[in-house]
Structure 1
Amino acid sequence: MQLDFFPSRSLTLYLAKMFIVRILAVLVMLVLVLMMLDLLSNSGEILAVEGNGQGELLTYASLRIPQLIQRFLPYSVLLATIITLVTLNQNSEVIAMKAAGLSAHQVLAPLLLTATVVAAISFAFNERVVTRATSTLKAWESAEWGPVPQDSGVKADVYLTDGSNVLTAATITGSGDNIVMNKVTWYERGAGGLIRLQVRADRATFANPGWRLENPVRFNVSTTTTDRPESMVVGQELTPEQVDLDTIDPDAQSFLDLHESIQAHEAVGRRTAEMRAKWWHKLSGPLSSVLMPLLGAVAAFGLARSGHLFVRALIGMALGFAYFVVDNAALAMGSFGGYPPFLAAWAPFFLFLLVGETVLIRTEE
């Protein structure tokens, strides 16, 4: 039996079923509690818009829940690991398995297999559901909870530069010459970077060259006067191709789409460290679920009657949460160029893989 990585078929199914039930239970509990707190924070702003009601709250929940599942699924796997292993330890089932000749890795094998399946499902869920929900939710929030955007390609909170001047838009729809900007603000800067002109408009379209503002309101900073010109074109050097490149949101793009966006940026010599770090993290993020049984395994081994089971559970929980802290810090460092993108996404995973193996081997007996 020592030559087999998995225990018997019956024992593998028993442990896997126990584990997956606890993962789902913890995930549902976390998502429900966090969704309730989120609605308490944002429901007032949503309902303040005329015409919004219960339907809009349900729409918000349907868009927010996928994000919560994406973020807290690895936490759920960690907590489910500790609950499962503590239960097995208290019932002396771990002792029985080890007495039957199973090694520590064989005891954990069904949990690792289950976590791998969860990671694969998480990756597919992020690609098909979370990216679209994120894009729609950001656009809806930028529209100040007005009508829900129907176009999943809406880009929100756009910041564009034309030399020293700045063009911002709450939302952008379309691509190429058909780009339409909504709730636009143009900042024209003078010497020393000081703003000398501010123009607000409801809408902007491509004027070839530049962007034509509709119903502009112009404020001259030096004279503190406001006027309403009939028409105004700004951003003469800002092309639709530049807008398409500058408005890419890595969180709202799938793995393959983001790879194409990175290649487009590299083709024109633009910095891609942030996008490439998040591109790699689209793989390492879901795969973190596979680490959780290994980091929480410290709760499985050692006699329950020794009085140290609670301490072991806390150590397993601390290891798991330490991984998420280091992972977020490394991703932030990679986003602004402190770490190479590959290292920022994968270094925490391999570091805690080694930590988990070391702790497992040292605490097995």
Structure 2
Amino acid sequence: MNTFARYVLKSFLWQFLLLLTGFTALLQLFDLLNNSADILEDHMGQMSAVFEYAALRLPEIMSFLVPFAVLMAALVTLGKMERDNEIMAYKAAGAPYFTVLWAFLPAVGIVAILHFFLADRIVPLSIQALIQQDLSVERTKSKNEAKDEPLFVQEGKSVVEAGAVGQDGTVLSHLRIYERADSGKIIRQVFANDARYDAAAGLWHLSDVWTTVVPEGDAAQTKHTQNWDWQTQLTPAEFSDLVEKPQAMTLGKIWGFISSTQVGVRPTYFYETWLQKRIALPVSSILMILLAAPVAHSLHRRERGLAMGMTVGFGLGFLYFLTDGLVLSLGESGAVPPFLAAWLPILLFAAIGGAWLIKQEGY
């Protein structure tokens, strides 16, 4: 690493840490203002619950803001170097402008690696801790409501359908159990209005149960019982894991849903989209350098201040996140292929930034 690259590394990382800290504090303040009342009400006014919620929400907020902080830090660093004629002196020594961008790669590479580790390892743990401590925003605002997402789980020759899953998977509504013979034909069907897990006994207690037996070559027989204990190896974890957010899944778990080693409640293309998104995550930080470079360069030529550069940077960042969210939603719904859903915003804005920079440099 040459002297210029070390100078860029130091300047960029300092600006990045300052901006990430400031943006994270601001967004977390808004988050607490929006949700602290519900948390206090749900935990009998204990302020410790609010502090714990803030600490566990911090990784997810930071992960969301990293690309934006990279864009603004690169813009500030390049703008300062343009204003002090440092880039002009560097180019006067015979170095083309793109070598300035190459000097940013070590710094941005460090941020990209840390961002991937944060999103793939730390954020899932923090979200799971929020759920376990009953601090999740969704669960706090609708604590006793089940997630209306029917899902299927296979256990041996039986197929289990849960109409809705609630309270960390310990409560199932509209449960159906299809028991099959070796030939695959259904020989018994059990329908229960709801099922509750007894952790002490390790059993599921079913209520309002209708059991239909289909004998070979005979008429089906149906019997009703008010309560029935379901003997199974399935635990609440198998059901709660299926309805968790993609942000709470590691790369390995997402791959498990795609490769069918785990059973998911959503279509395969949904998990494929998030797999591609997780892989593309570090690249989004590198893209921000390509967006910041022409903005800073053009502002210097037009003799506009750094405030204008920050405004343009905010606009670019907002436009990128808007495009990214829109295309990701299309990928989750299957309207566009998973690869395009994850990579199209990066390729599109890379083309815009690259074309803008080439036009300015006159290549």
Task: Provide TM-score, normalisation by structure 2.
Answer: 0.74
**In the alignment, does 2:237 pair up with 1:250?**
no
Residue 332 of structure 2 is aligned with which of 327, 331, 335? 335
Partner-residue secondary structure (3-state), 2:350 = helix
Partner-residue secondary structure (3-state), 1:344 = helix
Please report how far the alpha carbon of residue 242 of structure 1 lies from its aligned counterpart in structure 2 after TM superposition.
8.4
Please report how far the alpha carbon of residue 304 of structure 1 lies from its aligned counterpart in structure 2 after TM superposition.
3.1
Measure the CA separation in 2 of the matches of 1:213 and 1:269.
22
**In the alignment, does 2:157 pair up with 1:160?**
no
Which residue identity lines up with residue 23 of structure 2 in the other structure? Answer: L
Measure the CA separation in 2 of the matches of 1:270 and 1:307.
52
Partner-residue secondary structure (3-state), 1:213 = strand
Distance 1:286 1:364, change over 3 A: same
Q: Which runs of 5+ in 2 are unaligned?
A: 153-159, 177-190, 209-224
Tell whether the 8 Å contact from 1:159 to 1:167 is kept in structure 2 after alignment: yes
Measure the CA separation in 1 of the matches of 2:127 and 2:7.
37
**In the alignment, does 2:75 pair up with 1:85?**
no
| Alignment-derived partner of residue 9 in structure 1 | 2
**In the alignment, does 2:113 pair up with 1:116?**
no
Tell whether the 8 Å contact from 1:47 to 1:53 is kept in structure 2 after alignment: yes
Measure the CA separation in 2 of the matches of 1:280 and 1:233.
42
Tell whether the 8 Å contact from 2:168 to 2:240 is kept in structure 1 after alignment: no
| Alignment-derived partner of residue 38 in structure 1 | 31
Q: Which runs of 5+ in 1 are unaligned?
A: 1-7, 148-155, 173-180, 189-196, 217-228
Measure the CA separation in 2 of the matches of 1:305 and 1:314.
17
| Alignment-derived partner of residue 101 in structure 1 | 94
**In the alignment, does 2:20 pair up with 1:27?**
yes
Which residue identity lines up with residue 17 of structure 1 in the other structure? Answer: K
**In the alignment, does 2:279 pair up with 1:286?**
no
Partner-residue secondary structure (3-state), 1:66 = helix
Please report how far the alpha carbon of residue 260 of structure 1 lies from its aligned counterpart in structure 2 after TM superposition.
1.5
Tell whether the 8 Å contact from 2:151 to 2:163 is kept in structure 1 after alignment: yes
Please report how far the alpha carbon of residue 15 of structure 1 lies from its aligned counterpart in structure 2 after TM superposition.
1.1
Which residue identity lines up with residue 132 of structure 1 in the other structure? Answer: L
Kindly report which structure 2 residues correspond to 1:233-248, keeping only aligned pairs within 5 A, or say none: 243=239, 246-247=242-243
Q: Root-mean-square deviation (CA), in Å?
A: 3.8
Which residue identity lines up with residue 358 of structure 1 in the other structure? Answer: A
| Alignment-derived partner of residue 319 in structure 2 | 322
| Alignment-derived partner of residue 187 in structure 2 | none
Residue 273 of structure 1 is aligned with which of 265, 269, 275? 269
| Alignment-derived partner of residue 171 in structure 1 | 168
Partner-residue secondary structure (3-state), 1:167 = strand
| Alignment-derived partner of residue 222 in structure 1 | none
Please report how far the alpha carbon of residue 323 of structure 1 lies from its aligned counterpart in structure 2 after TM superposition.
2.3
Which residue identity lines up with residue 37 of structure 1 in the other structure? Answer: F
Partner-residue secondary structure (3-state), 1:171 = coil
Percent of paired sites with the same residue: 28
Which residue identity lines up with residue 79 of structure 1 in the other structure? Answer: M
Which residue identity lines up with residue 53 of structure 2 in the other structure? Answer: Y
Distance 1:109 1:213, change over 3 A: same
Which residue identity lines up with residue 288 of structure 2 in the other structure? Answer: M
Distance 1:76 1:11, change over 3 A: same
Tell whether the 8 Å contact from 1:277 to 1:345 is kept in structure 2 after alignment: yes
Tell whether the 8 Å contact from 2:258 to 2:272 is kept in structure 1 after alignment: yes
**In the alignment, does 2:354 pair up with 1:357?**
yes
| Alignment-derived partner of residue 262 in structure 1 | 258
Measure the CA separation in 2 of the matches of 1:122 and 1:303.
29
Distance 1:94 1:110, change over 3 A: same
Residue 120 of structure 2 is aligned with which of 124, 127, 138? 127
Distance 1:332 1:269, change over 3 A: closer
Measure the CA separation in 2 of the matches of 1:240 and 1:135.
14
Please report how far the alpha carbon of residue 40 of structure 1 lies from its aligned counterpart in structure 2 after TM superposition.
1.2
Measure the CA separation in 2 of the matches of 1:317 and 1:304.
18
Distance 1:110 1:145, change over 3 A: same
Distance 1:145 1:59, change over 3 A: farther
Worse overlay, 256-265 or 91-100: 256-265
Distance 1:20 1:239, change over 3 A: closer
Worse overlay, 28-37 or 157-166: 157-166
Worse overlay, 347-356 or 289-298: 347-356
Tell whether the 8 Å contact from 1:94 to 1:300 is kept in structure 2 after alignment: no
| Alignment-derived partner of residue 295 in structure 1 | 291
Measure the CA separation in 1 of the matches of 2:279 and 2:42.
39
Distance 1:74 1:185, change over 3 A: same
| Alignment-derived partner of residue 224 in structure 1 | none
Q: Deviations over 1:37-80 (max 9, x none)?
A: 11111111111134452221121011111010110010000111
Measure the CA separation in 2 of the matches of 1:161 and 1:268.
8
Please report how far the alpha carbon of residue 241 of structure 1 lies from its aligned counterpart in structure 2 after TM superposition.
11
